[in-house]
Amino acid sequence: MHPARDTTRLAASEERLAVQRNRFVPSVRKRLTPPSRRRRRSRSRRPGQQYVRTLVQDVSFGVDQIVEIALRALSPAVNDTFTALTCIDWLGDCLSRIAVSWNPTPVRRCRDGYIRVIAAQVSYERLVQRAFEKIRQAGAGQPAVMIRELDALAQIADRVTEPERRRVVYEQAAMIERQVAESVPEEADREDVLRRCLIFRTALALT
């Protein structure tokens, strides 16, 4: 079927529906006729549209949700460091799992080979940045948060193989290291974080 005519046909079929999906059904409509088999097949092939992001359609949404929990935990009003540390653990685990396999294709084709959708895909490098940058900024001056971030980055670095992905992981660790001198006043705490930075660089050089 021609792509342009296909779009017109789908739009026309939508107008014929008595009740559309996710719409309010008024009480005066006592009976609803079930859709025909042909109409059910037509609807099943259409992309779903929603007003909110979902974890299935947008992996970065899951990362943003975990980061949001961590930021709320680090806020002065809440001051729940342990929750923030748990969020960092989950981010490190998730990003290390997809360190090799994350290569989404933006092109979606129908069974006839026509390009139907060109979706904006977030890169792995951008996922790492979204996972750690805001937490690093909010966790300035907190050695426990810095050390846990370095541990998570080391976990990711152990899995990544592509140079560009390794570079973005190293950059995140380097920003944490530069932040230590400016935000951690206690010398013993600074030494703890810098020692973990050295362990991270050594591990990255060996992998």
Do residues 178 and 94 share a domain? yes
pTM over 0.85: no
Query: Within this chain, do residues 30 and 65 fall inside the same structural domain, yes or no?
Result: no
Q: Are residues 59 and 41 in the same domain?
A: no
Q: Do 122 and 165 lie in a common domain?
A: yes
Q: Are both 5 and 81 inside the same structural domain?
A: no
- My answer on whether 116 and 170 are in the same domain is yes
Among left, alpha and beta (phi > 0; psi -120 to 50; other), residue 36 is beta
Same domain, 83 and 4: no
Q: How many domains does the chain have?
A: 2
User: What is the rounded radius of gyration, in angstroms, for the C-alpha atoms of the chain?
Assistant: 24
Give residue 13's pLDDT: 46
pLDDT < 50 regions, the chain = 1-5, 10-17, 21-22, 28, 30
Residues 39 and 98 in one domain: no
Q: What is the pLDDT of residues 130-162, one digit of tens each?
A: 999 999 999 999 999 999 999 999 999 999 999
Domain of residue 123, residue span: 54-206
